[in-house]
Structure 1
């Protein structure tokens, strides 16, 4: 499953900011959002607010008198590199976990700069202010929820493609197989916690496909490459939090799979132990870049502005393989 380019859009109006502000997710990804409040000479940020597909969440309660409201949103690490563009006009500080930063234009230790986009929410029928996160597919709520389920089914190894928010026998068959394998009834699909149930399943070792598990105290960023007999395509980065597992989205039946991973700190700098980077790879040199990437041509990485790193081949002859990243 190739991660599609997604657009972040908002319904805009000149409605006055007098009530609660909520964000509504019409994307096929579970997202985490951070807001920035620009009030006169001070700018504060707060996050992360997790929002499931087709769900809304209040991020500011009561009267909002800010000069500007800004937003940064990212998809959960389970999806790999966030498909949401990070190209806002304001650079503000965030932290990895839940945070509230009073002076957010000068980052301190444990904080990293992120791009925020100014938003002007519209006033909803209930009197609150609302901004919608949307993809280029322009899903409505029902379609966003179904597309979100399809996307996680594919990552978990079930054939629910294409990810289009349209129900059908293929999606229902994949969903039924998933529920059966976890001993769940069909009623759980309508549960407000169903996306949590699916993500927990994706973050556990699987008997099929490739699984990465992070047994270190550090965040791990990983990349996967597949050889279909015609070309080798490398793709990353996937964020794997400490103590978590993740299935990279490998579809089809590639002839060979390769893996590379490295541990990073809160500023995304490579962790080094005794002057050696803490990483897990091999001798097969493939192209990567610092940000999200999908690269099908592996020659002359450096002359194309890319970085060549050593990937390790993964033996998939048993049908499933779990790679565990541990401290040396």
Structure 2
């Protein structure tokens, strides 16, 4: 490593780790209806570093870089929490940089090492605010303001937790209030908590715990599990995935309406998303009903001749949720 490159890396790391009082901070503000995790890339001359993850709830901001920014470019990668299923945030960007699954700082982020994976980053151009700081916004096509983003985020988590607050539009009304009241009552929570800063953490925890309604997946293995769900409303069967379930966590796939049948498939994977095998057999949990899946994010209502459309025929198990909640626990054999 040359002296110049070493100096550049030290400069970038000082930007990524500085906790000193800042002359100008960079803030990320979330105007999406999802709780997101963001990673920042700092491109400075001949070196690029990344840092993550910064969790940002709907309608909140978080400082991700402190001090006057002298870097050539600032880049961003964002992902929604795994409980939302396949990422609703477009996975695109002109730069491919390294990230890790858990919190990380990577000094040389263009050559991934063990435990690191490549991710698409997009260059951002923050806006300078009246107080001299810089701000960049995460937004979705609905173009919510802060109040709408917060309410839409609550509606979305209520739906995943098994309470009907549809449509997810950031507009308050009797249906949303009834769903919220039912959620609070089921968790013995007072109405005051809704206005507290930690309310989204409370809701996220609720979504990742077994539920008395709908379908719950719980991962009792030491591996990451990727799951897919399918619903049959009597007219068509829609399969979609993937939902990431971390070890020791539970998750509720979003099942809208009142389907006549529900199906489930799950598979344990390693850090590179390759199937875990035990005695040369994939560690998965499914059944005999053949439905269409593919390796990347998917949703399809066509279940015939999967290979001709770029899909794979996968065996799903039927799940009976007609009598209330059903929890499927994925464990080692």
Residue 18 (structure 2) aligns with: none
Q: Which residue of 1 is the match for residue 125 of structure 2?
A: 120
Deviations 1:165-217 (A, max 9, x none): 01111111111111111111111001100000001111111111000000011
Q: Per-residue displacement from partner, 1:105-159 (whole Å, max 9, x unpaired)?
A: 1111111111001101011122111100001000000000000000001111111
Q: Bigger relative contact order, structure 1 or 2, given CA contacts below 8 A and separation 6+?
A: 1
Residues 22-33 of structure 1: matches in 2 within 5 Å?
22-33=27-38
1:250-290 Cα shifts (integer Å, max 9, x gaps): 01111111100011111111111221111111111111121
Alignment of 1:177-326 (within 5 A): 177-326=182-331
Aligned to 2:139: 134
Counterpart CA distance in 1 for 2:64 and 2:183 is 33
Matches within 5 A, 1:138-157: 138-157=143-162
Aligned residues: CA RMSD: 1.1
How far apart are 1:312 and its partner, in Å?
0.8
Which TM-score applies when normalising by structure 1? 0.93
Give the corresponding residue for 2:39: 34
Indicate the SS of the match to 1:100: strand
Deviation >6 Å, runs of 4+: none
Contact kept, 8 Å, 1:111 with 1:267, in 2: the verdict is no
Name the structure 2 match of 1:159. Answer: 164
Quick one: distance in 2 between partners of 1:171 and 1:35? 35
Give, in whole Å, the separation in 2 of the partners of 1:276 and 1:222: 17
TM-score calculated relative to the size of structure 2: 0.92
Distance 1:72 1:266 in 2: 19
Name which of structure 1's ranges 281-290 and 17-26 shifts more when overlaid on structure 2.
17-26
Instruction: Name the SS for the 1:223 alignment partner.
Output: strand
CA distance in 2, matches of 1:216, 1:133: 34
Q: Which has the larger radius of gyration?
A: 2
Hey, what does 2:179 align to over in structure 1? Answer: 174
Please state whether the residue corresponding to 1:132 is helix, strand or coil.
strand
Unaligned runs of 5+ in 2: 1-21
User: Size of the alignment, in residue pairs?
Assistant: 312
The answer as to whether partners of 1:18 and 1:65 remain within 8 angstroms in 2 is: no
Unpaired stretches in structure 1, ≥5 consecutive residues: 1-16
Shift of 1:18: 6.9
Structure (1/2) with the larger helix percentage: 2
Q: Is the contact made by 1:233 and 1:294 (CA closer than 8 Å) also made in structure 2? A: yes
CA distance in 1, matches of 2:37, 2:293: 25
Instruction: Quote the Cα distance in structure 2 between the aligned partners of 1:192 and 1:126.
Output: 24
Matched residues in 2 for 1:168 and 1:227: separation?
A: 29
Kept in 2, the 8 Å contact 1:91–1:116? The answer is yes
* Among 18, 21, 28, the residue aligned to 2:26: 21
**3-state secondary structure, aligned to 1:187:** helix
Shift of 1:317: 3.5
Question: Does the CA-based 8 Å contact 1:18-1:64 persist in structure 2?
Answer: no
